[in-house]
């Protein structure tokens, strides 16, 4: 799986989510992208919507948030009007990110956003968790032929299967699923990261993590379980406030996460039973058979004059019982590595 110039099989793809953390300032958005790059992000992701493309301006209680979230008592329309990234900013933000060597893409929330992003030549699309049941939107997005990343924060198993089927009906197999817990912030005991390895096996596609915890451990554990994408919200300073500030990482925190992920990649390596050059050298400290006292030719080998000790320059200890009771061929001194040549 490749997104832009990034091969996800070779290196974990780390996405910094801007979301609403520009607080309505283009200058803040641009500075945030620079900080994302300096903090080790491979890509920036936006969200492309207007209040009217994502919800209705309606006074019904159904359009007011009341689920124990950070945004309770707010109307959807008002929240999205505050949090949206103006479409006229997108090109400048994308161009800035690309000038820094980053990939830049976004989550579309209706077909007009899909088309708008296509004209900006995004390398991929992201389907947000709450849009996974919008099969027509997924079909329309997948039909563009670009890689598609799908978050699963509110998805049942059948929802995931239907979303995958929608992509494949459009002849798009460039799919990445992100394990996600749609709580803001998410608690550690809600994450169920073991699902990642099951998703890899069950669906046979690239899997990652969209993380809303404030922990640096979740991305590390996810990579150890097979995640090839990590997405995390980014903010210059949580003291700025804003719709998503409470579950976003500051630059220093994000850099610590990136470094931990990169260390985890090195730690995971590959499946092998071959020894590394350093381990092979260290094998010299393994145990082996040594002559433990001065002996004369013809003397019988016993556990008193031949023992298993460190280092490993003598015969393997597994041969001890085979040599016991046999005579020494020649005189030998204490500290001599035992070999077959010592047997008469």
pLDDT band at 183; cut points 50, 70, 90? confident
Across residues 186-213, what is the average pLDDT? 96
pLDDT of the residue at 82: 85
Q: Which of 34-38, 75-79, 91-95, 199-203 has the lowest mean pLDDT?
A: 75-79
Across residues 86-94, what is the average pLDDT? 98
Q: Which of 27-31, 175-179, 255-259, 268-272 has the lowest mean pLDDT?
A: 268-272
> Percent of the chain, pLDDT > 70?
98
pLDDT band at 7; cut points 50, 70, 90? very high
| Average pLDDT of the chain to the nearest whole number | 95
pLDDT band at 72; cut points 50, 70, 90? low
User: What SS3 state is found at 169?
Assistant: helix
pLDDT of 59 over the 90 cut: no
Among candidate residues 21, 3, 39, the one with its CA nearest the CA of residue 258:
39
pLDDT of the residue at 29: 97
Q: Which of 25-29, 78-82, 254-258, 280-284 has the lowest mean pLDDT?
A: 78-82
Cα→Cα distances 342→164, 290, 315, Å: 68, 11, 11
pLDDT of the residue at 69: 64
Across residues 228-239, what is the average pLDDT? 97
Domain ranges of the chain: 9-49+84-268, 277-342
How many C-beta atoms lie closer than 10 Å to residue 138's C-beta? 25
pLDDT of 67 over the 70 cut: no
Across residues 234-254, what is the average pLDDT? 92
User: What SS3 state is found at 245?
Assistant: helix
Across residues 174-200, what is the average pLDDT? 95
Across residues 37-52, what is the average pLDDT? 97
Cα→Cα distances 258→16, 37, 99, 285, Å: 11, 11, 21, 36
pLDDT of 285 over the 90 cut: yes
Q: Going by CATH, does the domain composed of 277-342 fall within 1.10.260.40?
A: no
Choices 3.10.20.30, 3.20.20.70, 3.40.50.300, 3.40.50.720: CATH for 9-49+84-268: 3.20.20.70
Q: For the chain, percent helix, then strand, then coil, each to nearest 5?
A: 40, 20, 40
User: What SS3 state is found at 17?
Assistant: strand
pLDDT of 241 over the 70 cut: yes
Residue of higher predicted confidence among 71 and 251: 251
pLDDT of the residue at 290: 98
Residue of higher predicted confidence among 306 and 83: 306
Among candidate residues 85, 59, 93, the one with its CA nearest the CA of residue 74:
59
pLDDT of the residue at 62: 83
Across residues 76-93, what is the average pLDDT? 92
Counting Cβ atoms within 10 Å, is residue 270 exposed (0-12), middle (13-18) or buried (19+)?
exposed
Among candidate residues 331, 311, 223, 303, the one with its CA nearest the CA of residue 267:
223
Residue of higher predicted confidence among 147 and 74: 147
Is residue 292 within 8 A of residue 304, CB to CB? The reply is yes
Contacts with 312 (C-beta within 8 Å, 6 or more apart), sequence order:
283, 284, 285, 286, 287, 288
Kind of pairing, strands 306-309 and 288-291? antiparallel
pLDDT of the residue at 244: 84
């Amino acid at each position: 799986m490749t997104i832009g110039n990034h091969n996800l099989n070779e290196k974990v793809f780390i996405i910094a989510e801007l979301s609403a953390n520009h607080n309505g300032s283009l200058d803040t958005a641009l500075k945030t992208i620079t900080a994302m790059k300096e903090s080790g992000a491979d890509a920036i992701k936006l969200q492309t919507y207007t209040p009217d493309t994502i919800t209705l301006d309606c006074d019904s209680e159904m359009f007011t948030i009341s689920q124990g979230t950070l945004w309770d008592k707010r109307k959807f329309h008002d929240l999205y009007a505050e949090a949206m990234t103006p479409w006229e900013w997108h090109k400048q933000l994308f161009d800035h990110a690309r000038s820094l060597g980053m990939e830049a893409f976004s989550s579309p929330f209706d077909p007009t956003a899909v088309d708008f992003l296509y004209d900006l030549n995004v390398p991929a699309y992201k389907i947000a968790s709450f849009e996974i049941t919008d099969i027509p939107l997924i079909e329309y997005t997948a039909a563009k032929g670009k890689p598609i990343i799908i978050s699963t924060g509110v998805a049942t198993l059948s929802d995931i299967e239907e979303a995958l089927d929608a992509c494949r009906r459009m002849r798009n197999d460039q799919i990445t699923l992100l394990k996600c817990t749609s709580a803001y912030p998410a608690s550690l005991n809600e994450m169920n990261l073991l699902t990642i390895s099951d998703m890899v096996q069950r669906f046979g596609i690239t899997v990652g993590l969209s993380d809303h915890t404030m922990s640096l451990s979740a991305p590390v554990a996810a990579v150890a379980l097979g995640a090839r994408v990590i997405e995390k919200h980014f903010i210059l300073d949580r003291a700025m406030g804003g719709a998503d500030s409470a579950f976003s990482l500051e630059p220093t925190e994000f850099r610590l996460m990136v470094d931990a992920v990169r260390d985890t990649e090195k730690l995971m390596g590959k499946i092998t039973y071959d020894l590394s050059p350093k381990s092979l050298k260290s094998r010299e400290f393994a145990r082996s058979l040594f002559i433990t006292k001065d002996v004369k030719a013809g003397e019988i080998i016993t556990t008193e004059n031949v023992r298993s000790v460190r280092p490993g320059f003598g015969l393997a200890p597994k041969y001890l019982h085979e040599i016991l009771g046999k005579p020494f061929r020649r005189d030998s001194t204490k500290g001599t590595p035992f070999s077959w040549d010592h047997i008469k």
